[in-house]
Structure 1
Amino acid sequence: MNDTTIIFNPSSECSSNLQCRCLTISAYQWSLIRTFDVSSQQLAIDESLFKMLANVWSINLSSTKLPLSFSKWLTTTTSIRHLNLSSAILTISKWEWCAENLEWLDISKMSLRYLAISSNCKLRYLNANNNVLESVFLASTTLEIVLLEHNRLKSWPVPPTGIALTRLHTLSLTNNQIDYLPDGALVHYPQLQNLDISRNILCNLSVASFPSIGMQIRSLNVSHNRLATFVHPVLPSLLLLDLSHNSLVSLDSDLLAGLPLLQHFYLNSNVEIFSQCHQTCWLNALIQMLNLVELNLSNCQLSRVPDLSPFEALRRLDLSRNKLTTIDGYILPKGLQRLDVSQNHIHTLTNFSVEKLTSLQELDISRNPLLCECTLAELIPLFDAQKLNNADLYYCFSGSWQYPLRSYIDNVHSCIHSTSQLLTVLLNAIFILMITFTMFIFITFLLCRYRIHQTIFIPFKYTPLTMSDANAVDL
């Protein structure tokens, strides 16, 4: 593609004739274009094209082949504000160019090793993901979002002395090789709200890395690192904290006290986090976090469920892949909407019914050795229908026999129905016994009255003595 023509690849209808594969664009047509998108076409761009883009403010050259002169043109153009070069082929390893009014730049997947954004650049959005960056220089104070994911960075990016990125609110460094945060690491980003440093090789964090006051961080992701402990920085605005997939052995109770607004807390896959919970446990300090909406304790070797009933805001609770043997509905929040207790050792659900947990919408108890109990039939509306039909996921035991839970529930009577029937039979039996006993007492009473009556009213008949009777009496 050049300043006048787009040449298409040969096709079955047009192979040898070059004229039928050409699309001509006049200078007047170029002057009308404001958005230019030839992405994903694997076009080879001729340098003559760039002079025709003087009035274009949005350019997408993703997956195209660019000439080396492109970088020189970029430093001279004044119109462009939005530039996408993702996966573009440009034989350079360093990026250090910025158009005068450029605000949005995507240079991901370009195999870059070095990146420099100078202080005179007006860039607001920068995406440099999926490169091989080993060094980054950020000096532009207009930056708001910086994405440096999937690179080879080994150190925390620090602006030049005397410069603070006061507008930066989102910084992502996930999937790099950063092993520590220097003292004052976040001082240079006073308005930072979203920080993702997951999937690095961090072994510990220092309180000195976080400023003591003024931090606005609302989301902090340090998952998939090597942390054994986590400090308690002052983060009063934090709403989301992800510490999952680390090597935590405990948590400081002061940390939980310092997160009054926290709503989403992920601790899953910290298999030693309860190892020091013998008499006292950090888990008891959870009571201070009454704004929690989501709590994930999956794969933490948890053997008992703490009393979560005071957590009125809690809506999602994940306790899967632990060592639980029972779940008591009384210690769960009444407003809970989703509960995952799959892959535990649960035999029975205590005090657990739809009537008690009125807000519950989803329940996953798959891969548990459940006892075949009629109470399970009441929970059918909460199960995933597709999973329930899978006998490898849902099953129950009766004696030494294992049954698919779906089949068992289809053939068992409801506990409520069975209880009402039993109650009716019991009441009828009591009623009959009472009538029988009453009749027995009544008949006994009548018989006694009859015998007494006979004794009192036997008639007396006078018979005069004969002479023989009188002689016998005298003797």
Structure 2
Amino acid sequence: MGVRFRELFLLLAVCALSLSEPVNKTAKSSTIPIFTQYDDYEGDEQEVLFNEDRPCPRDCICTVFQGYKIAKCNRLELGTQKFGDDITDLVIENADPGLPIKLTDHIFRKVGLHQIATVKIVNSTIDYVSPRAFYGLSELYAVNLVNNNLKDLHPETFATNKKLLLLTLSHNPLKFPESGSDEYFLNATTVQELEVSYCSMKNISANVFKNLSGLMYLNVAGNNLTDIEPGTFKKLLDLEELDLSDNNIKSLPDDIFSENNELATLNIQRNPIDTVYGLQISDLLTLNAGQTKIKFVGPSMFNGMTYIANLNLSGNKMQQIHNQAFHKLVELNYLDLSYNNLSFVSSELIKENIELDIFKISNNPLLRYLPVEGFNCSAEQFNIYLFDASNCGLEEIYDNSLKTFTALSVINLSGNNIKTISNKVFSVCPKLVEINLADNMLTTLDVKIFEKNNELGKLFLQGNPLKVLSAEVFIHTPLLTWLDMSNAELTALWKTNKNQPQTLLANLTFLNVSQNHIIEIKQTELDTLNHLRSLDISNNPLVCNREFENLMTWLSKRKVSPNANTALIANLATNPKEEEETYSWEFLTRKTCGASSVHPVEPLPAVSDEEIWERIDEDAQGNFDLKNTLDDGKLADDTKVNDNKLNDEIVDDLDKDDDDDDENDEDEDENEDDDDASEDYDDGEGDDVDLKLKLIEKPTMKKPVAKQEKEQVKIAIKLLENDSVYDDLEPEVYVQASVDEQQHGRYDYLWPILIAIFSSLLLLIVIAKVVMIVCSRRNKQIRYNSAIIAAMSQPGRTKKDCGLVYQQLSEDLTGPATPKLSRYQPLPSVTVNASNMSYESSPFHHSNIVPEAV
């Protein structure tokens, strides 16, 4: 029976080996990824899987953004491209101008874009658009055809797209109906935002927008328009924003916006318009009339626009404004009168504008003074939080010029000719968080100038001829985080005194003192700057000394940035080679001190000899740290000397002690001991010396010590290892030169222990592995034996049927066979409901009601 069992086992083993190779091949082929099978396919068109179930056509890249499937292509060609119906956005940019795009009948449906929602074809060439090109696209809501050299567009092109909201056609030489014609431009009643800027529109007829009744935003800027007929916008009852900027419009009819009751924003900047008097726009909130030819603002210019909140009259070269010009604008929040030629501003100018938040009169070079008693206010105080009077030629700021601006947060007085500022100017503005006094003529600042500005966070003083600045200026600004004093004439950082608080500029994070005449900056001047993160001291004649080295060490330890960008820009005119180096404190050190002092060191604390001996006296028991004592005082000589010289010096020191003891009538026994010690030491010249130490000489000024105290001080230094003369002494201090060897000896047994531990772990792992292999083989053997016995027990089964036995066994082990998948069979599809698409989540969302982003 044993022989037959072995023969049966061997026969089964041979059969298993013969069938193992094809079974393994079958198993491997059944686990090939689906993507690999598709990658092997090469047909007329190369297919790239998109989202696992749709192919992306050639010349396109398909991506997914916020759940929407976008196809970005560089051309659109019928017959060679086929899109999946899950594509929601088509983007074609910078297509080859030699292959112009033709939008023929039903082209988007023919290429498979049935559910397309947005079409963007920009910076390309479109030489033809069929009236039925966009036919049948029921989900289309945004079309962007910017800069495609498009010349003709049929009026009914978008008539069937009932969900179309955004249409952008700017920068195309389009043809528009001529003046006086009954024709219309487009029939698209659902479009809410239309942009036809820079489209060579010479004139606008009364009927051009009559079939665009749903418009809420219309941009016709940059078309060189000269005249607009009065009834042009009467059909646009929902119009909220109109942009007429960058045209050649000289005047607007009084009743041109009489029917546009929803119009809230009107942009007419950069037009030769000299007045807006007579316009009736009852609900207008924003009027942008900058860079026009309005030279004078009368008291009734804005009578038909009394609810204006934002008014921009900048860049008009205005010379006069009536003191009651804005009195009827009671809702005014923003007023910009910058870049004009105003020489006088009345104190009554904004008296009734109590809701004003931002007031700008910058860049009026003829304006010398602000109102002496400030701007009058009908409510006593304004709500203005930003006042900009920069680059106005102001020579003085009076004490009461800002008395009605108590809510002021930001004030900009830079670029003027202010020489002095009283400490009362900013005291009426306790909420100031930013003050800009840059580029004036200030030579100094009153120490109490910011006494009431406890919330000040940023201060700009650059470009002033400041020579001396006291640290007391910043005592009342504990929240200051930004301080710029660059490009001045400072010779020192600031003057400090002993009574200044420890919290001075404690929150300062940025400090710029570049391009000054500072020779030295002490570390103590920056000790209170605990939050400093950036310091610019470039372009200063700094001197290399101990204070400079201490400063570099302090800045490096605090990880303060040298503000490299500003420093490099400032050095462009000096040495172009410095741009290539990374600006750092090491670089500044090399530039200031040269290569000799690259690593600054901190100074050692000054310790007198008397303090050293006091420490020795206090540690009479011999447990003081001799190394620290030597480091605190004068360092011992580190140069190597021979043994004889060292012995002689020590003997001389001991003899000197003996002489001192004789003069003070001390114990003769101690003198004899010292003499013997010196004689024995001389005899031991040939022995090895473990320690070479030069003792510090006592100061010439002898310290009076009582006899009883001196007897307690005994310092015995063991110099020779085997000197029997010193064995009888009771040393209080042992200075051992072999400390490092003893410490090293503690780790002599560490490596053998670690090696033994790792060897044991490795042996355990090997034993565990062998046990696992034996157990697995035993289990397999039992499983195979059980399967064989079960197979042989079936009627009619013999040894010849070993192949069937193996087949059944392999199925038991590997599980059910994997069915073959046809390489051409489509994968299960996932439908996308395009009707659930939201306007906000689309990549073509126009957040600022300007369709240029489409």
Aligned residues with identical type, % of pairs:
22
Task: Note if contact 2:199-2:223 (Cα within 8 Å) is conserved in structure 1.
Answer: yes
Which of 309, 314, 322 is the matching residue for 2:416? 322
1:111 correspondence with 2:111: no
* C-alpha deviation, 1:270, in angstroms: 1.8
Counterpart of 1:262 (choices 351, 356, 364) is 356
Q: Distance in 1 between matches of 2:358 and 2:456?
A: 19
What is the aligned partner in structure 1 of residue 274 from structure 2? Answer: 179
Alignment match of 1:86 (pick from 170, 175, 179): 170
Deviation readout 1:341-396 (Å, 9 max, x if unpaired): 111101111135776422111111111100223428948995857x65xx6x3442
Cα 1:336–1:160, aligned 2, differ >3 Å: closer, same or farther?
closer
What amino acid is the match of 1:228?
Q
1:183-216 deviation line (CA, Å, top 9, x unaligned) = x22x2x111111100011111123333227x721
- Relative to 1, partners in 2 of residues 1:381 and 1:289: Cα closer, same or farther, differing over 3 Å? closer
1:32 maps to what in 2? 115
What are the within-5 Å matches in structure 2 for residues 403-442 of structure 1?
Answer: 404-405=515-516, 407=518, 410-411=521-522, 414=525
1:370 matched to 2:481? The reply is no
Q: Separation in 1 of the partners of 2:143 and 2:364?
A: 45
Which moves more between the two structures, 225-234 or 44-53? 44-53
Amino acid of the structure 2 residue aligned with 1:97: F
* Letter matched to residue 37 of structure 1: K
1:89 CA drift (Å): 4.3
The one-letter code sitting in structure 2 at the alignment partner of 1:229 is Q
C-alpha separation in 2, matches of 1:90 and 1:336: 53
CA contact 2:376–2:404 (8 Å) conserved in 1: no
Structure 2: how far apart are the matches of 1:372 and 1:409? 14
Q: 2:157 aligns with which of 67, 73, 89?
A: 73
Is 1:145 paired with 2:238?
Answer: no
Check the 8 A contact 1:93/1:111 in 2, yes or no.
no
Q: Is the 8 A contact 1:181 1:205 kept in 2?
A: no
Shift of residue 312 of structure 1? 2.8
Q: Which residue of 2 aligns with 1:170?
A: 265
Asked if 1:206 is matched to 2:260, the reply is: no
- Cα drift, residue 19 of structure 1: 8.9
Checking the alignment, whether the CA contact within 8 Å between 2:387 and 2:411 is kept in structure 1 is yes
Distance in 2 (CA, whole Å) between partners of 1:254 and 1:39 is 52
Structure 1 match to 2:185: 97
Q: Is structure 2 residue 382 aligned with structure 1 residue 299?
A: no
Cα distance in structure 1, aligned partners of 2:514 and 2:112: 73
Measured against aligned partners, the alpha-carbon deviations of 1:394-449 in whole angstroms (never above 9, x if no partner) come to: 44268xxx9944846834865999xxxxxxxxxxxxxxxxxxxxxxxxxxxxxxxx
Between stretches 257-266 and 403-412, larger displacement belongs to: 403-412
CA contact (8 A) 2:203 2:227 kept: yes
For 1:416 and 1:8, how far apart are their aligned partners in 2?
Answer: 63
**CA deviation map 1:131-180 (0-9, x unaligned):** 3222333222211011122222211354449x332101111111111122
- Over 3 Å counting, the alpha-carbon distance change for 1:126 and 1:413 in structure 2 is same
Which residue pairs with 1:336 in the alignment? 432
Distance 2:161 2:254 in 1: 29
CA distance in 2, matches of 1:285, 1:101: 50
The residue matched to 2:435 in structure 1 has which SS? Answer: strand
1:293 positional shift: 0.6
Is the 1:194–1:220 contact (alpha carbons within 8 Å) kept by the matching residues of 2?
yes
- Taking the aligned partners of 2:260 and 2:466, their CA distance within structure 1 comes to 56
TM-score, normalising length from structure 1?
0.71
Partner residue of 2:319 out of 228, 235, 240 = 228
What is the CA–CA distance in structure 1 between the aligned matches of 2:317 and 2:167, rounded to whole Å?
Answer: 37
Structure showing greater Rg: 2
SS of alignment partner, residue 376 of structure 2? helix
CA separation of 1:289 and 1:84: change in aligned 2, threshold 3 A: farther
Give the Cα separation in 2 of the matches to 1:114 and 1:416. 70
Separation in 1 of the partners of 2:520 and 2:382?
37
Contact 2:349/2:375 (CA < 8 Å) preserved in 1? no
Tell me the C-alpha RMSD between the 2 structures.
Answer: 3.8
Structure 1 residues 202 and 355, CA gap change in structure 2 (3 angstroms)? closer
| Cα drift, residue 330 of structure 1 | 3.6
Secondary structure, aligned partner of 2:287: strand
Shift of 1:221: 0.3
Residue identity opposite 2:462 in structure 1: S
Given residue 125 of structure 1, which amino acid in structure 2 is its aligned partner? Answer: Y
The structure-2 alpha-carbon separation of the partners of 1:23 and 1:410, relative to structure 1 and needing over 3 Å to count, comes to farther
Alignment match, 1:12: none
SS in 1 for 2:114: helix
Give the letter aligned to residue 410 of structure 1: I
Indicate the SS of the match to 2:350.
helix
Which residue of structure 2 aligns with residue 127 of structure 1? 219
Query: Partner amino acid for 1:191?
Result: D
Of 323-332 and 353-362, more deviation after overlay is shown by: 353-362
**Residue 334 and residue 240 in structure 1: after superposition, are their counterparts in 2 closer, same or farther (change >3 A)?**
same
Q: Distance in 2 between matches of 1:282 and 1:227?
A: 24
Distance of 1:404 and 1:102 partners within structure 2: 58
Are the aligned partners of 1:221 and 1:242 in contact in 2 as well (CA < 8 Å)? yes
Counterpart contact for 2:368–2:395, Cα < 8 Å: no
Q: In 2, Cα distance between the equivalents of 1:347 and 1:235? A: 42
User: Would the alpha carbon gap of residues 406 and 171 (structure 1) be closer, same or farther in structure 2, given more than 3 Å must change?
Assistant: farther
Structure 2 residue identity aligned to 1:138: F
Q: 1:256 to 1:377 in 2, by over 3 A?
A: closer
Q: Secondary structure at the match of 2:251?
A: coil
1:420 alignment partner in structure 2: none
Compute the TM-score of the two structures, normalised by the length of structure 2: 0.41
Q: 1:223 to 1:173 in 2, by over 3 A?
A: same
Q: 1: distance between equivalents of 2:169 and 2:156? A: 15
Shift of 1:315: 0.7
Are the equivalent residues in 1 in contact too, given 2:81–2:111 (CA < 8 A)? Answer: no
**Secondary structure at 1:253 match in 2:** coil
Residue type of the alignment partner of 2:301? S
Cα deviation, residue 73, structure 1? 2.4
SS of residue paired to 2:260: coil
CA separation in 2, counterparts of 1:122 and 1:415? 65
Separation in 2, partners of 1:281, 1:362:
26
Distance, in Å, in 2 between the alignment partners of 1:229 and 1:310 is 23
Mapping 1:386-401, distance limit 5 Å? 393-396=487-490
Where does the alignment leave 5 or more consecutive residues of structure 2 unmatched?
Answer: 1-56, 61-76, 84-107, 493-512, 529-854
How far did residue 44 of structure 1 move?
4.4
Deviation at 1:111, TM superposition (A): 2.6
Residue number in structure 2 paired with 1:349: 445
Conservation of the 8 A alpha-carbon contact between 1:89 and 1:110: yes
* Alignment check: 8 A CA contact 2:388 2:412 kept: yes
- Contact 2:170/2:199 (CA < 8 Å) preserved in 1? yes
Aligned positions, number: 390
Which amino acid counterpart does residue 365 of structure 1 have in structure 2? L
Contact 1:329 1:356 in 2 (8 A): no
CA distance in 1, matches of 2:165, 2:242: 17
| 1:64 matched to 2:148 | yes
Segment of structure 1 superposing worse, 287-296 or 122-131: 287-296
In structure 2, relative to structure 1, the CA distance for the partners of 1:57 and 1:263 (3 Å cut) is same
Measure the CA separation in 1 of the matches of 2:153 and 2:387: 53
> Which secondary structure does the structure 2 equivalent of 1:73 belong to?
coil
Cα pair 1:45 1:65 within 8 Å, conserved: no
Q: 1:67 to 1:210 in 2, by over 3 A?
A: closer
- The answer to whether the 8 Å contact 1:138/1:158 transfers is no
